């Protein structure tokens, strides 16, 4: 199945060009997508949510049974070709499933480790023999998978791993080391483990729990996700057959980083699903909780929150489905390893953007959900406190948000230098344009026209900041983390705002247009501040004055009555007691 997106796009292209329309949006889900969504949602509501308390008591037999049930329903094999037992669907389907599972964070983590972190590396890097041996079991849920990259001394610096694999004369490897914080560690059967061959060549291995010398440490005592297993993984002189090297010796970084690209994209889907559920929870509570003789949902301060949490989720959802459409457009229905790998690499920038935006959006939404619940939000009688604790780790795993922020402008700059993205030429053009006299404005009058102009301005600012940073710092750009992080925030806001506007335009206005108008308005404010700080750090004297004058010229969005817009969205959230899009 494809999503009818025939345009082949390049990752990051949207930053330098006007977006190619149409983009994929949640409103374009096919009947088949809706059916998968319904299956996944019903499974989570009927079988996973009622099991949460038992999962939190570390009932891993139950966790395994739920993984197996997901397999029976076809939810574990959406990305997997039929030849290995999968259902071979498009990436939109994977997003739809991820969102549904995201309602239950602990199980979503178990599920994500299985589908994102264990299945993906086999799909992209496995030999035919490895795929035949492991994929069918992972897809049915008879085999539970885990991904063991981190160590106590190397998390973000994953290539600094100390685990060692020593090549033996018979071609096997003796692998020793200790991995930390391994999701599904307490009950997984198969581990994708990263170790350095002969202390040097970073390599991925497929290691079965049954191999002598493999053991799991104690469960970690965590802030949240109590229903997800997290343990160390200890390997003492484990003999690994040569046939269990995944990918090439010395190319483990390709496995590690490409898997994380897809993991980040799927994590964003789970965050999106979690947020949708929380909007409904907040709206339901606000409708029934009375203070001063009336439901708290009638108070402007609470209505503002109800609108805002829905609006922020709208932007993430728009980015998520747009990106899924871009990947599907690139894959054109192919499930071949090489095609999947190059699509994941192509949209690595968008995956990092989504990971940061979705995890931070979810934390915001869940914090406001606690706040709307008042004292009840702080006690265990209501699910709001569990959600709040469970979500915090999303900003830490799958690459911390700091690392993902640095990756966004870093990858763009690398592509520009390699010539894959004509970013340098675009940045120069923008700089010349901004430094010459202002042309007369030609305001259009179509729907969302003002927002489109603001986004065009935001793109110019993003290119001005990135282009100036590349010129100013050259090869040492990577050392300028504050500027890079600021540039990332601008780029994330551009992608979010544009995705929201494109989605709203395709949905033909109404509440969609109101959400998009708020998103663009607020993004423009943040972009201006971030750009001012970054430009001021890069230049002084006359150059600084010129750059800041150019920024003022391009960032002058017309005033928008966001109070009125949010009120209308709040009416919909409170009225429907759910996420209204």
Ligand X SMILES: Cc1cc2nc3c(=O)[nH]c(=O)nc-3n(C[C@H](O)[C@H](O)[C@H](O)COP(=O)(O)OP(=O)(O)OC[C@H]3O[C@@H](n4cnc5c(N)ncnc54)[C@H](O)[C@@H]3O)c2cc1C
Nearest approach in angstroms of CB 318 to ligand X is: 27
Tell the burial category of 417 from Cβ atoms under 10 Å away from its Cβ (0-12, 13-18, 19+): middle
State residue 226 phi and psi, 5-degree precision.
Answer: -65, -20
Q: Does 267 participate in binding ligand X (rule CB under 6 A)?
A: no
What's the angle, vertex CA 513, arms to CA 510 and CA 515, rounded to 5?
Answer: 110
Q: Does 150 participate in binding ligand X (rule CB under 6 A)?
A: yes
Gap between the Cα atoms of 393 and 230, Å rounded: 12
Which range in 24-32, 143-151, 289-297, 358-366 contacts ligand X by CB under 6 A?
143-151
Q: Which of residues 91-130 bind ligand X (CB under 6 A)?
A: 113
Nearest approach in angstroms of CB 109 to ligand X is: 7
**8-state DSSP, 115:** I
Q: Using an 8 Å Cβ cutoff, are 102 and 146 in contact?
A: no
Q: Does 191 participate in binding ligand X (rule CB under 6 A)?
A: no
Largest CA distance in the chain: 80
**Closest-CA residue to 94 (of 215, 230, 265):** 265
Which lies closer to ligand X via its Cβ, residue 143 or residue 520?
Answer: 143
Gap between the Cα atoms of 227 and 110, Å rounded: 9
Nearest approach in angstroms of CB 185 to ligand X is: 7
Answer for which of 36, 95, 225, 348 binds ligand X (CB under 6 A) is 225
Structure tokens at 54: 């038992």
Which lies closer to ligand X via its Cβ, residue 225 or residue 341?
Answer: 225
Q: Would you tell me how many other CB atoms lie within 10 Å of the CB of residue 578?
A: 18
Sign of CA dihedral 489, 490, 495, 501: positive
State residue 232 phi and psi, 5-degree precision.
Answer: -70, 160
Nearest approach in angstroms of CB 577 to ligand X is: 32
Which lies closer to ligand X via its Cβ, residue 90 or residue 385?
Answer: 385
Nearest approach in angstroms of CB 485 to ligand X is: 9
Nearest approach in angstroms of CB 575 to ligand X is: 37
Q: Does 183 participate in binding ligand X (rule CB under 6 A)?
A: yes
Q: Does 148 participate in binding ligand X (rule CB under 6 A)?
A: yes
Q: Of residues 368, 385, 398, 514, which has the active-site annotation?
A: 398
Which lies closer to ligand X via its Cβ, residue 356 or residue 361?
Answer: 356
The interface mask with ligand X, positions 471-510, x = CB under 6 A, is ----------x-----------------------------
Distances (CA, A) of 517 to 490, 497, 511, 557, 566: 17, 9, 10, 11, 10
Answer for which of 43, 125, 147, 173 binds ligand X (CB under 6 A) is 147
Taking the mean position of all CA atoms in its chain, how far away is CA 428?
31
Answer for which of 402, 447, 539, 571 binds ligand X (CB under 6 A) is 402
Beta carbons within 8 Å of 131's beta carbon, 6+ residues apart: 84, 122, 123
Question: Residue 528 catalytic?
Answer: no
Which lies closer to ligand X via its Cβ, residue 149 or residue 370?
Answer: 149
**Residues identified as active-site:** 398
Residues that bind ligand X (CB under 6 A): 113, 147-150, 155-156, 181-183, 222, 225, 230, 393, 396-397, 400, 402-403, 481
């Amino acid at each position: 199945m494809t999503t009818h997106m025939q345009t082949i796009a390049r990752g990051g292209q949207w930053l330098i060009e006007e977006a190619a329309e149409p983009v994929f949006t949640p409103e374009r889900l096919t009947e088949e997508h809706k059916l998968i969504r319904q299956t996944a949602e019903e499974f989570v509501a009927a079988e996973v949510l009622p099991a949460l308390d038992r999962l939190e008591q570390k009932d891993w037999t139950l966790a395994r049974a739920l993984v197996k049930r997901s397999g029976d329903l076809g939810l574990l094999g959406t990305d997997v070709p039929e030849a290995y037992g999968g259902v071979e669907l498009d990436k939109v389907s994977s997003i739809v499933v991820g969102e549904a599972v995201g309602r239950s964070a602990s199980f979503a983590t178990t599920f994500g480790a299985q589908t994102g972190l264990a299945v993906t590396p086999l799909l992209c890097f496995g030999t035919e023999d490895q795929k035949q041996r492991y994929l069918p079991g992972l897809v049915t849920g008879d085999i539970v998978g885990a991904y063991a990259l981190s160590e106590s001394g190397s998390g973000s610096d994953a290539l600094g791993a100390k685990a060692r694999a020593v090549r033996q004369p018979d071609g096997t490897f003796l692998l020793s080391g200790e991995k930390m914080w391994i999701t599904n560690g307490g009950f997984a059967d198969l581990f994708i483990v990263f170790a350095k061959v002969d202390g040097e060549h970073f390599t991925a291995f497929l290691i079965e729990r049954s191999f002598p010398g493999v053991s799991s440490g104690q469960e970690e005592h965590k802030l949240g996700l109590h229903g997800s297993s997290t343990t160390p993984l200890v390997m003492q002189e484990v003999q690994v057959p040569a046939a269990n090297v995944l990918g090439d010796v010395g190319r483990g970084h390709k496995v590690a980083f490409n898997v994380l690209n897809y993991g980040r994209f799927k994590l964003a889907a789970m965050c999106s699903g979690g947020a949708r559920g929380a909007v409904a929870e907040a709206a339901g509570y606000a409708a029934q909780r009375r203070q001063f003789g009336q439901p708290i949902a009638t108070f402007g301060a609470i209505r503002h929150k109800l609108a805002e949490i829905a609006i922020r989720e709208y932007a993430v959802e728009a980015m998520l489905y747009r990106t899924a459409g871009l990947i599907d457009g690139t894959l054109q229905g192919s499930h071949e390893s090489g095609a999947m790998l190059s699509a994941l690499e192509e949209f690595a920038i968008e995956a990092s953007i989504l990971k940061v935006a979705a995890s931070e959006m979810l934390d915001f939404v869940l914090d406001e959900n606690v706040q709307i619940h008042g004292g009840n939000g702080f006690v265990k009688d209501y699910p709001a406190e569990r959600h709040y604790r469970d979500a915090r780790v999303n900003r830490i795993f799958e690459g911390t948000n700091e690392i993902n922020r640095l990756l966004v402008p870093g990858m763009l700059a690398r592509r520009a230098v390699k010539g894959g993205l004509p970013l340098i030429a675009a940045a120069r053009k923008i700089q010349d344009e901004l430094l010459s006299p202002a042309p007369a404005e030609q305001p259009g009058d179509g729907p969302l026209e003002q927002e489109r102009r603001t986004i065009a301005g935001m793109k110019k600012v993003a290119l001005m900041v990135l282009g100036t940073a590349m010129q100013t710092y050259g090869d040492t750009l990577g050392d300028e983390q504050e500027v890079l992080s600021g540039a990332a925030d601008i780029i994330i806001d551009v992608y979010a705002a544009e995705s929201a506007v494109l989605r709203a335009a395709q949905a033909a206005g109404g509440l969609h247009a109101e959400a998009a108008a708020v998103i663009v308005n607020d993004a423009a404010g943040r972009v201006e501040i971030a750009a001012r700080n970054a430009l001021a750090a890069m230049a002084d004297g006359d150059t600084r004055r010129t750059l800041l004058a150019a920024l003022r010229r391009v960032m002058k969005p017309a005033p928008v009555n966001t109070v009125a817009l949010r009120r209308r969205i709040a009416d919909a959230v409170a009225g429907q007691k759910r996420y209204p899009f």
